[in-house]
Chains A and B, each alone.
Chain A
């Protein structure tokens, strides 16, 4: 059998491919072989999963290429910290700059579902102000779209995941959540106590893309706390279980364990397809009428840079020299507090309580923009590493503080770091096992970033003390890489337009976290999926024009709610409509 046709196909014929304990894929997957397809989507992660679902439902022939495996959740996932390392992008990357980022488990996923498999699933929206921070605060850059343009897609994806949270969420554009808030764990109780003591507002039980009640063939959360190790229960949303099943149902193909190495271009400046390496390391060419790169803020720019060719010597779609630049990470300091009483923070999902009281620019502070504070809950290995950083623990000191694991609670700072051209992804001299140059990531904080982090971390430490912690320590950390192929109206300073089409090549798109021009202080996952759904609506509205014309139509089509996976829209889920229309 052709190696491309084995794997998943066989497993499924044996006993059904499990996506959680209840949901199974039973239909055989469509296989395009070497036939030309309409769209190749490179990377089936947060954005890629949504794109595949929408485009296939609208009748396009779509093929998702995924470097990692197509998980069978019952067979491949475990309730175990050390046993979950294969969820992450573990291949080599080089990290540098004055404040080098930790990558791997700290940042990106691999396998169908991508980062949505191991995210904590906090799902707040960006605020309206995030789309115009240059106009408002004179920093960063404005988006080419407004909050109002993205809002219908936020509402839509909140139902498709769906997101649990309070009926009234007061920050940004106030709104409510379709599923009820979650019960508190020990860390959430500490955050409530600390915030309340200091007069800070707090959102209890979400917003988080975890089921508080069962939904279709997915069961509700069992509060086992292994979200970052992938939710075997099927309660936490990942595109693997929310969108991929519907995509396959509608004729999409996913080719797993296939690493795309290059995008090909013809003399008419149009993309013709991609070459990729299969699980055995053999190289193949796949023809496509258009290509969408959805490989994450490191791998997407890496692929464009690795696809340099005559006429595009600096990489595809890089006439602006912006590919790889303006890479951002959020300040993700972890603040840890030791309490006299037991906390047992491993119970309940790490993400269950947060505040955005400090989100907006405050003229009384000496920096622009702001931050959020969220519950986090490291399991023992992550906690041991934090104690190494935050207290300098090793030897007997490490053994001692670890024996107190159950007395600690931890909060995460989530602060906005601004986009800087020098923070970037480039190609390193080292090559991966396919002979492709690996990514080199350079990251350095600037003045505004440092001031924000200093202020933010002190504030979170105050909240921890106010919650009753007798000892408070912290480690620096950065989370959520985005940017590096940013969207904008000006082709001289951005890579894609507001519909994620590259300025330089009419049938090449980038759609994932790398298109974010700025990041706010909201975890990016919901925004990434909302942008993917919006991009899909645009592509569908353009029909064949994407494949055979160079015309760039800049009119936004109306949202197509009927393209949502079945049972996620218009099924009587109560919602509050916000007042700030």
Chain B
């Protein structure tokens, strides 16, 4: 299988490090961000059967095989922490079970789909098969485990997964470095606001071409659940 080149820091801002600027952050922010980086809590919500499955799922929902292993961002422990401490986003869709139950149902359904379509547990499928199977959730056209998806709208479960993964990954300074986000800026401020100009401590963009692994199907864009209006879901983040 072809893989993108492994890097300490993927992205177009070589050498950019938000952490190198932590001397200019306020104390409370520094504490919050550094704590996140050293989070090593044991898994308390997911069961030992669920851990390998959910780990494999997040390896596809937010793949990191282009990162040097020591620069990968742990997703499962943070999602586990959220579910164990019942930190919810403040609401639940009326046709959805609580997040914890949704994860238990969803993990079981993904494994059931693998067994019924490929006659093997999800974790033993080849990466391409795993990616394709997850893509059917994205498209809201699951090919098996229908009894679960009748109880829980598949597109909502899918968005829960993607959001949880994104919420953990893009909260991490390594991800900020990857995308060129300047990070915390109090009390120092940003001074160069226009024309996309970089602060003196930010880095100029240097683009390069890269390809997703050949055994993946997530590097193309189609709306969740296709263009079905009934699947339309409002944006989840506050903006204005």
Asked if B103 is at the interface (CB within 8 A of a chain A CB), the reply is no
A: contact size bracket: 35 or more
B228 at interface by CB-CB < 8 Å: no
Are A104 and B89 closer than 8 Å at their CB atoms?
A: yes
Assess the A223–B170 pair: CB atoms within 8 A. Answer: no
Q: Are A414 and B89 neighbours in the complex by a CB distance under 8 Å? A: no
Which residue of B has the minimal Cβ distance to A232? B186
Q: Check B167–A477 contact: CB distance below 8 A.
A: no
Q: Which residue of A lies closest to B30 (CB)?
A: A78
Give the shortest distance, in Å, between A232 (CB) and chain B (any CB): 5
* Contact residues, A363-396 vs B (CB, 8 A): 374, 376-386, 388-389, 391-396
A523 within 8 A of B: yes
The interface bits of chain A over 380-417 (1 if a CB of B lies within 8 angstroms of the residue's CB, else 0) are 11111110110111111111111101100010101000
Q: In the complex, what residue of chain B is closest to A354 when comparing beta carbons?
A: B240
Contact of A476 among B195, B212, B218, B232 (CB under 8 A): B232
Query: Chain A: which residue is nearest B31 at the CB level?
Result: A78
| A406 B205 Cβ-Cβ under 8 A | yes
Q: Contacts A395-B216, A402-B170; is A93 near B90 (CB within 8 Å)?
A: yes
Q: Identify which of A181-189, A243-251, A496-504 touches chain B.
A: A181-189
Q: How long is the Cα–Cα vector from A332 to B26 in the complex, in angstroms?
A: 33
Q: Tell which of B106-114, B118-126, B219-227 binds the partner.
A: B219-227
Assembly CA distance A512 to B184 (angstroms): 33
Collect the chain A residues with CB atoms within 8 Å of residue B205's CB. 342, 406
B62 touching A395 by the CB < 8 A rule?
yes
Interface residues of A in 87-118 (CB under 8 A from B): 88-96, 99-108, 118
Question: Do A79 and B63 have beta carbons less than 8 Å apart?
Answer: no
**B185 lies within 8 A of A226 (CB):** yes
B238 at the interface (CB under 8 A from A): yes
Contact yes or no, A388 B88, CB < 8 A: no
Complex-state Cα separation, A388 to B164, whole angstroms: 12
Binds B, one of A6-14, A62-70, A344-352, A530-538: A344-352
CA A224 to CA B217, docked complex, whole Å: 37
Question: Which of these, A83, A350, A406, A410, contacts B196 with CB under 8 Å?
Answer: A406
B12, B26, B193, B196: which contacts A341 (Cβ < 8 A)? B196
Q: Does B87 contact A (CB under 8 A)?
A: yes
Q: Does B76 contact A (CB under 8 A)?
A: no
Most chain A Cβ neighbours within 10 Å, of B25, B167, B191: B167
Q: Is the CB of A410 within 8 A of B239?
A: yes
Given the complex, which residues of A lie within 8 Å of B224, measured CB to CB? 388-389, 392
What are the interface flags for A528-569 relative to B under an 8 Å C-beta threshold, 1 for contact and 0 otherwise? 000000000000000000000000000000000000000000
B166, A398: Cβ atoms under 8 Å? yes
Q: Is A475 an interface residue (CB 8 A)?
A: yes
Closest to B180 in A: A406
By the criterion CB–CB under 8 Å, are B90 and A382 in contact?
no
Query: Across the interface, do A392 and B221 meet the contact criterion of CB distance under 8 Å?
Result: yes
The residues in A between 471 and 492 inclusive whose CB is less than 8 angstroms from any CB of B are: 475-479
Say whether B36 faces chain A, with CB atoms less than 8 Å apart.
yes
**B234 and A476: CB pair below 8 A?**
yes
Q: Which of A91, A342, A403 lies at the interface centre, i.e. has the most chain B CB atoms within 10 A of its CB? A: A403
Of all chain B residues, which has the CB nearest A103? B91
Closest B residue to A95 by CB, please name it: B91
CB pair A397 B234 closer than 8 Å: no
Looking across the interface, which residue of chain A has its beta carbon closest to that of B171?
A82
Contacts of B169 in A (CB 8 A): 384
Q: Indicate if A334 sits at the interface (CB-CB under 8 A).
A: yes
State A343–B194 Cα separation when bound (angstroms): 8
A residues less than 8 Å from B236 (CB atoms): 102, 105-106, 385, 389
Residues of B near A313 (CB, < 8 A) are none
Task: Report the nearest B residue to A376, measured CB to CB.
Answer: B239
B193-231 vs A, CB cutoff 8 Å, 1 = contact: the mask equals: 111111000000100000011001111111110000000
Please, how many angstroms separate the alpha-carbon atoms of A111 and B185 in the complex?
24
Inter-chain CB contacts under 8 Å: number: 289
Among A79, A107, A223, A351, contact of B238 (Cβ-Cβ < 8 Å): A107
Q: A79 and B186: CB pair below 8 A? A: yes
For residue B33, CB closer than 8 A to chain A, the reply is yes
- Known pairs A74-B26, A397-B219, A402-B170; A104 contacts B239 (CB<8 A): no
Contact of A81 with B by CB under 8 A: yes
What separation, in Å, do the CA atoms of A402 and B238 have in the docked complex?
18
Closest A residue to B92 by beta carbon equals: A94
- As a 0/1 sequence over residues 427 to 452 of chain A, the CB contacts with chain B under 8 angstroms (1 = contact) are 00000000000001100000000000
Contact B239 A378 (CB under 8 A): yes
Known: A228-B239, A477-B234. A222 touches B10 (CB 8 A): no
Instruction: Determine the distance from Cα of A441 to Cα of B234 in the docked complex, in whole angstroms.
Output: 14
Contact between B239 and A101, CB atoms less than 8 A apart: no
Query: Of residues 135 to 167 in B, which have CB atoms within 8 Å of A's CB atoms?
Result: 138, 159, 162-163, 166-167
Point out the residues of chain A lying under 8 angstroms from B189, CB to CB: 222-224
Asked if A470 is at the interface (CB within 8 A of a chain B CB), the reply is no
Interface residue A26 (Cβ < 8 Å from any Cβ of B): no
Tell me, rounded to whole Å, the shortest Cβ–Cβ distance linking A478 to chain B. 5
Residues of A within 8 A of B190 (CB): 222-225, 347-348
Contact of B91 among A85, A93, A99, A376 (CB under 8 A): A93
Whether A77 touches B240, Cβ cut-off 8 Å, given contacts A93-B90, A233-B187, is no
A189 CA to B159 CA, complexed, in Å: 33
**A26 to B25 Cα, complex, angstroms:** 26
A83 to B167, CA, bound (A): 11
* A107 / chain B contacts, CB cutoff of 8 Å: 90, 238
Q: Are the CB atoms of B238 and A382 closer together than 8 Å? A: yes
Contact, CB under 8 Å: B166 / A388: yes
B93 engages A96 (CB within 8 Å): yes
Is A422 in the interface zone, CB < 8 Å from B?
no
Given contacts A332-B239, A403-B179, contact A233 B186 (CB under 8 A): yes
Q: Which residues of A contact B220 (CB under 8 A)?
A: 397
Known contacts A100-B94, A406-B205: A222-B240 contact under CB 8 Å: no
Which residues does chain B contribute within 8 Å of A100, judged by CB atoms?
93-94, 233-234
List 19 additional A-B contacts (Cβ < 8 Å) besides A382-B237, A385-B163. Answer: A74-B26, A75-B28, A76-B28, A81-B171, A85-B87, A96-B94, A102-B236, A105-B238, A189-B194, A332-B235, A347-B192, A348-B190, A382-B239, A388-B166, A389-B233, A391-B223, A394-B61, A400-B219, A414-B240
Interchain residue pairs A-B with the least CB separation, the first 4: A395-B218, A104-B90, A342-B196, A382-B237
**Interfacial residues, chain A to chain B (CB-CB below 8 A):** 21, 74-83, 85, 88-96, 99-108, 118, 120, 122, 183-186, 189, 222-226, 228, 232-233, 332, 334, 341-344, 346-348, 350-351, 374, 376-386, 388-389, 391-403, 405-406, 410, 412, 414, 440-441, 475-479, 523
Q: List 15 A-B contacts (CB under 8 A).
A: A92-B90, A93-B90, A106-B234, A120-B239, A348-B193, A374-B240, A377-B239, A381-B237, A384-B166, A384-B167, A385-B236, A386-B235, A395-B63, A441-B91, A523-B240
Q: Which residues of B contact A (CB under 8 A)?
A: 10-12, 25-26, 28-29, 32-33, 36, 60-63, 66, 87-95, 131, 134, 138, 159, 162-163, 166-167, 169-171, 175-176, 178-198, 205, 212-213, 216-224, 232-240
